[in-house]
Amino acid sequence: MKLNLFPLLLVSIVFPAFAASQEQPDWSDVFEEHNAEGTIVVVDGRTDRKPPMVFDEERAATRFSPASTFKIPHTLFALDAGVVEDEFQVFEWDGVERDFAGHNGDQDLRSAMRNSTVWVYQQFAEQIGAENAQGYLERIDYGNADPTVDNGIYWINGELAISAHEQIEFLQRLYRNELPFSVENQRLVKDLMVVEAGRDWILRAKTGWDGSLGWWVGWVEWPTGPVFFALNIDTPNRMADLAKREQITREILLAIGALPAP
């Protein structure tokens, strides 16, 4: 797939994710096909101001651990706090062999985002500090904004939680460069999120997994506007279920014309 990372001229107006959601019961077939329990919220801003399309409204309003989707705001925190200079700074691997091969080597912001390299973001968390993290979370009104943790990583093992609707709201603000961070840093984070692109569209997204629940959140940019999405599913089969995050989302986006046919 040809990559085109130049910004698109986007003209649509994005609107809050919570307004007048409409259920999409037909999407149950997609979840059933993949033997998955979960929810998805889609906000299509390409034409008129449409209400969010939702499968399982109750679950879409329920907060869960953000897992590695938190790398999106966490990168903004790290850039703002000065614990990372830019996308070229190299973080040296400590030599500890981890389960994911992509984590075993030096990293920069781009690889750490792409590979969900937890140890890089643990360093960020240590340097930012708990008090500053609390302040950042409150500033951006991120989920319950609670970084409390007894043992482990607060965005995976702690109390921090966010709903699919709130993920959409956060992504909309990032898309519009309306978060309380420099526009330069917001644009950098959006560049780090690029998954694939074509001549007139860009897919920006991030996965997340806390061991029992998986996320895929992001948006597809078109000249006529963005299509935001936030999916979470249960993962009782652990890693064997992880591919379902993108498979389900892509099928739904393809069905509404938000992604081009393969």
Q: State the catalytic residues.
A: 68
β-bridge pairing 225-234 and 38-44: antiparallel
**Tokens at residue 113, please?**
């985002």
β-bridge pairing 53-55 and 22-23: parallel
Q: 144: how many CB neighbours lie within 10 A of its CB?
A: 15
Coil, strand, or helix at residue 107? strand
**Tokens at residue 28, please?**
């149950």
The enclosing H or E element of 26 equals none
The enclosing H or E element of 57 equals helix 57-60
* CB-based contact 233:214 (threshold 8 Å): yes
Closest CA to 137 of 36, 66, 205: 66
Cα separation of the two ends of the chain = 10
**Tokens at residue 187, please?**
């644009």
